[in-house]
A and B are shown apart, each in its own frame.
Chain A
Amino acid sequence: MANTKTSVRASGSLALLDALVKENVDTIFGYPGGAIMPIYDALYDHTQKLNHILVRHEQGAIHAADGYARVSGKTGVVFATSGPAATNLVTGIANAMIDSIPIVCIVGQVYAQLLGTDAFQETDILNITSPITKWNYQVTDPSEIPDVVAKAFYIAGSGRPGPVLIDITKNAQIDEFDYTGYQPVNYIRSYRPKPIVRPEYIEQAAQLINGAKRPFVLYGQGIILGNAEKEFQEFVNKSGIPSAWTLLGKGVLPTKHPLNVGMLGMHGNYAPNVLTNECDVLIAVGMRFDDRITGRLDKYAKQAKIIHLDIDPSEIDKNVKTEVSVWGDVKETLPLLTQLVEKKTHSEWLKQFKELNQKEYDVIIKPEMHPTEGEITMGEVMAVINELTQGEAVYVSDVGQHQMVVCRYAEQNHTRSNVTSGGLGTMGFGLPAAIGAHYAAPHRTVFAFMGDGGAQMNIQELGTILQYGAKVKIIVLNNNYLGMVRQWQQLFNDSRYSFTDIKSPDFAKVAEAYNIKGQRVFDRADLKPAIEAMLAHPETYLLEIKVRKDDNVFPMVPQGKGVSEIVLRAEDI
């Protein structure tokens, strides 16, 4: 083969767009500005291949790309200009970093010769985003663009995924160079996305599992990120081990799977929290023992031998000391483990979960999901949603009480259908993330659940819907409070409600101004018909539901307590 290269003169901007097309990018969320104008100028001719969604605030763009990535499994792409636009991305980048979501952010920067002069809209975005990106890089020469973009996509999407930022100076967007074509990258010499799988540890893990009387599986988002849902289900079905999920792991097993024993964590289900401290072998798969999962560490599963499967070596022994650590991609390690585990049913042990969860059902779930009097509850909204969607929709939530209610109660048949801000707890995430989710799955029903607080944090994105028509079913669960903080104030600050009482507009009227159909619901009798009307409407729809003002989310592991000290009622704290 001849080594002759042929090339064309191309601007950095054009090379960038070509790279995006070759990376199979179909949707970009962005907002133009001075230092990224050359890229937008090039984009003007190529909107057939690259669908650009103009958001109303850069934070909206990054959360939309985040929601898009979570639902599609692809890498999200964001365009923003320098300075304030780049800093507006920061919250969303941090959100994607802590939740391991692959996003490539392309931001403009002032001309290279102006760097460091405090030029108009100049900010040191590389240093600002250093701790919250998996990798970032500044391009000052157009000839670097193809390689840097290739590296960016590879790094964002491989191993434990994460956000990547490329800062491109304006001259590098404008200047031409000899472009020889785009070549994707699948190797960087200093980067090891996956640790090598060691069979001896898998054997040790299998031995522990096979000898266990009360084994318990905790599963997290790592399985979804590794596209290993099938491998995980095979492991669980064969080993017969009761399995509980982290907030972001929801959906790996369908809600109704017989071995799905519920949600872990501070507001998770009763049984999995209590029995964490009674199992003899704990198998953690693709999760990171976040403090909201473990509660107080010195009271966490002390009796259990712990097996941890994770792709990121820095997560092993970080919070919880393991007996056997199985490093590697769960897509590779789980089938090896499944081969070695014995086929079993742990019916007695599973019965303990069912009994404790029944207790929770009687005390909490039943009155919350099927109340007969008083104002509407968030739980009963979910009961109606479950009845009408049968677990087939995409459920995007914001942050706070409603988030816990949605994640606890939404029935779900599929993976990549629960979108929520886990690690960072970013209020204002819900609406833009739902817009992104719509573009990832345009034919699915996408719900955006929000509280009255979070709904007002990125409410400007209704404008994005107005312009492009993302078909999102928006549900504002309005309790006239910043409910989660109010709950803590009630429980831990003697009901001193310091600035949690929040006034809100008529959300349906706000929607109307954006040409979005909507209505408000106050009475139980109107609830189901309203949700039916929303689902029947072919376009975006906003439903504001007035719910009980003083409801709390229970069960709860109070901060500083162990997981088995989980309480069912406020009186027990």
Chain B
Amino acid sequence: MQKIEHTLTIYTENQIGLASKIAGLFSRRKINLECLNISPSEIEKIFRFTLVVIESEAVMKNLVRQLEKLVDVFIVYSNTNEEIIWQKMALFKVPTQNIIKNAKVERLLREFGANTVVIRDDYTIFETVGQDSDINKLLKELDKYGLIEFVKSSRIAIIKNSEGIHKKVMDMEKNHPIPDPIVNEYLDKKNLIFDL
């Protein structure tokens, strides 16, 4: 089966070690993570992982179920590029001298919708947001002007047909309200709290 880019969106509890558990499910199948982003979601204490792998549909189906088996994972979505809106962010460090000397650079940056973040005597930092193809094009151009350093973020994605997780969590809490604080039956008999 054909391998294509899939974006996984994983909603999880905020649990130490979960990132390595998730990564382990891929590494044991020798699947490379193209990129990985972990951030808070729209709900407090629930985290959102966004990761990209290049795999076949059948493998993805299996992976989604394996991921959902993790106790601290709420829900997992796997989407093709058509099903999501996605972006990455990139930062470029270029010698300020080269920019001043070259009027073309400014035009270039405008063309790519890049913004200036920092200007110093020695270097200037630009940022741009877009998909890999756009970012890579700008990278290629800026390389001609003595690019010092470049960094690109992981992919973040919004699923077109998704209501997020907010409603789901609210429903869950409704069906399983947090129990009242436990009333201890041994109010005055402290020793009896123990069964030992």
Q: Which residues of A contact B (CB under 8 A)?
A: 1-8, 10, 14, 17-18, 21-22, 45-46, 49, 126-127, 130-131, 134-136, 138, 155, 179-183, 187-192, 312-314, 316-318
Which residue of the partner chain, among B172, B181, B193, contacts A3 with CB atoms under 8 Å? B181
Report yes or no: A190 in contact with B13, Cβ–Cβ below 8 A: yes
Report yes or no: A8 in contact with B190, Cβ–Cβ below 8 A: yes
Report yes or no: A14 in contact with B196, Cβ–Cβ below 8 A: yes
Report yes or no: A181 in contact with B193, Cβ–Cβ below 8 A: yes
Report yes or no: A18 in contact with B194, Cβ–Cβ below 8 A: yes
Q: How many angstroms between the C-alpha atoms of A4 and B17 in the bound complex?
A: 35
User: Of B20-28, B109-117, B119-127, which binds chain A?
Assistant: B20-28
Which residue of the partner chain, among A2, A8, A182, contacts B183 with CB atoms under 8 Å? A2
Q: How many angstroms between the C-alpha atoms of A203 and B26 in the bound complex?
A: 36
Q: How many angstroms between the C-alpha atoms of A513 and B13 in the bound complex?
A: 54
Report yes or no: A6 in contact with B194, Cβ–Cβ below 8 A: no
A134: which B residues are within 8 A, CB to CB? 71
Report yes or no: A180 in contact with B193, Cβ–Cβ below 8 A: yes
* Other 11 A-B pairs with CB < 8 A, given A21-B196, A180-B182, A314-B69: A3-B183, A5-B181, A45-B196, A134-B71, A189-B74, A189-B169, A190-B12, A190-B72, A191-B71, A314-B62, A318-B62
Report yes or no: B69 in contact with A181, Cβ–Cβ below 8 A: no
A316: which B residues are within 8 A, CB to CB? 65
Q: How many angstroms between the C-alpha atoms of A22 and B192 in the bound complex?
A: 13
Which residue of the partner chain, among B62, B74, B195, contacts A49 with CB atoms under 8 Å? B195
Q: Which residues of B contact A (CB under 8 A)?
A: 12-13, 16-17, 20-21, 24-25, 28, 61-62, 65-66, 68-69, 71-74, 169, 172-173, 176, 180-184, 186-188, 190-191, 193-196
B61: which A residues are within 8 A, CB to CB? 317
Report yes or no: A6 in contact with B193, Cβ–Cβ below 8 A: yes
Q: How many angstroms between the C-alpha atoms of A15 and B69 in the bound complex?
A: 29
Q: How many angstroms between the C-alpha atoms of A131 and B17 in the bound complex?
A: 12
Across the A-B interface, the 5 shortest Cβ-Cβ residue pairs: A314-B65, A21-B195, A135-B71, A190-B74, A8-B190
* A130-B193 in contact given A181-B184, A313-B65, A318-B62 (Cβ < 8 Å): no
A14: which B residues are within 8 A, CB to CB? 194, 196
A313: which B residues are within 8 A, CB to CB? 65, 68
Report yes or no: A181 in contact with B182, Cβ–Cβ below 8 A: yes
B190: which A residues are within 8 A, CB to CB? 6-8
Main secondary structure of the interface of A (DSSP, over half): loop
A2: which B residues are within 8 A, CB to CB? 183
Report yes or no: A314 in contact with B66, Cβ–Cβ below 8 A: yes
Shortest beta-carbon distance from B119 to chain A in Å: 41
B194: which A residues are within 8 A, CB to CB? 8, 10, 14, 18
* A130-B176 in contact given A8-B193, A180-B182 (Cβ < 8 Å): no
Which residue of the partner chain, among B17, B65, B193, contacts A126 with CB atoms under 8 Å? B17
Report yes or no: B184 in contact with A131, Cβ–Cβ below 8 A: no
A10: which B residues are within 8 A, CB to CB? 194
Report yes or no: B183 in contact with A1, Cβ–Cβ below 8 A: yes
Shortest beta-carbon distance from B67 to chain A in Å: 9
Report yes or no: A127 in contact with B69, Cβ–Cβ below 8 A: no
Shortest beta-carbon distance from B168 to chain A in Å: 10
Shortest beta-carbon distance from B32 to chain A in Å: 18
* A312-B183 in contact given A18-B194, A21-B195, A22-B195 (Cβ < 8 Å): no
B62: which A residues are within 8 A, CB to CB? 314, 317-318
Shortest beta-carbon distance from A156 to chain B in Å: 11
Which residue of the partner chain, among B13, B21, B172, B187, contacts A130 with CB atoms under 8 Å? B21
Report yes or no: B196 in contact with A18, Cβ–Cβ below 8 A: yes
* A190-B71 in contact given A18-B195, A127-B20 (Cβ < 8 Å): yes
Q: How many angstroms between the C-alpha atoms of A182 and B21 in the bound complex?
A: 29
Q: How many angstroms between the C-alpha atoms of A338 and B70 in the bound complex?
A: 32
Q: How many angstroms between the C-alpha atoms of A96 and B80 in the bound complex?
A: 36
Report yes or no: A127 in contact with B72, Cβ–Cβ below 8 A: no
Shortest beta-carbon distance from A398 to chain B in Å: 27
Q: How many angstroms between the C-alpha atoms of A59 and B24 in the bound complex?
A: 24
Shortest beta-carbon distance from A38 to chain B in Å: 15
Report yes or no: A189 in contact with B193, Cβ–Cβ below 8 A: no
Q: How many angstroms between the C-alpha atoms of A131 and B71 in the bound complex?
A: 12
Report yes or no: A6 in contact with B28, Cβ–Cβ below 8 A: no
Shortest beta-carbon distance from B181 to chain A in Å: 5
Report yes or no: A49 in contact with B24, Cβ–Cβ below 8 A: no
Which residue of the partner chain, among B25, B66, B176, B184, contacts A180 with CB atoms under 8 Å? B184
Shortest beta-carbon distance from B180 to chain A in Å: 7
A4: which B residues are within 8 A, CB to CB? 183, 187
B74: which A residues are within 8 A, CB to CB? 189-190
B172: which A residues are within 8 A, CB to CB? 189
Determine the residue in chain A with the shortest Cβ distance to B185: A181
B21: which A residues are within 8 A, CB to CB? 130-131
